[in-house]
Structure 1
Amino acid sequence: MSAQKVCPLDELAPDAARRVVLDGVAIAVVRDSSGAVHAIGDTCTHGDISLSEGFVEDDGLECWAHGSKFSLTTGKPLNLPAYEPVPVFAVEIVDGDVYIDPAVRLEV
């Protein structure tokens, strides 16, 4: 499997998330306030809710339903009620476009 183009970088607003599905894997693509782009599993491990509908703050993406916040860099929950992490995927920016390989999960 190889990285797939998700969108142009300039279509990702700062402090916002976008849901993409690549090869059946739901991924939340997030551009933080510093401009860095992250990709984490889009499904909250507490309530099967789409994280991309949540709130981006600092290094986290908060589930809108129950308030669990997940680290954008490690996928680990930063508070309860979630206690299981979400996967984290490598992001590449090539010629102004965002690429993600859904088969490659980072170990952090």
Structure 2
Amino acid sequence: MAEAKTWQPVALVKDISPDTQTLRVTLDGEAVCLYNLQGRICATQDKCPHGNASLAEGWVEDGTIECPLHQGVFDISSGKPQCPPVTTPLRCYDVRVEDGTVFLLGDSA
């Protein structure tokens, strides 16, 4: 039987840095990167699938995130790789924002 998914609070929108536009949080023991794209909150896995790098330390531009390790670029909304050396897509998470709190859909505790 599949485990039920529940909305879990992980951060406040105001905690996502306006400079980097990213924030690393944890959901179900996994690192997740939150993005504030001009008021639209998105979430992907934090670890780049190409190398052991945190995407929260990367650079956001035009709806993409550039990995700080090998400069691979991903589309934040879809997780799709945009250029070499990355070829594996990022896991994207369902996001909900209520009263300034960011919720992600995760396994129930």
Q: TM-score, normalised by structure 2?
A: 0.86
Find 2:82's aligned residue among 75, 78, 82.
78
Aligned residue for 2:56, secondary structure, equals helix
CA apart distance, 1:48: 2.2
Cα separation, 1, equivalents of 2:94 and 2:33: 12
Equivalent residues of 1:28, 1:42 under 8 A apart: yes
Q: Percent identity?
A: 34
Find 1:23's aligned residue among 21, 28, 31.
28
- 1:67 is the counterpart of 2:71: yes
For 1:65-92, what per-residue CA distance to the aligned partner results, in whole angstroms no more than 9, with x for missing partners? 1001111110011111010001000110
Moved over 4 A (4+): none
| Equivalences, count | 102
Q: Which amino acid aligns with 2:25?
A: V
CA apart distance, 1:24: 1.4
Gaps of 5+ in 1: 104-108
Deviates more, 1:5-14 or 1:19-28: 5-14
Which residue is 1:55 aligned to?
59
Select the structure of larger CA radius of gyration.
Answer: 2
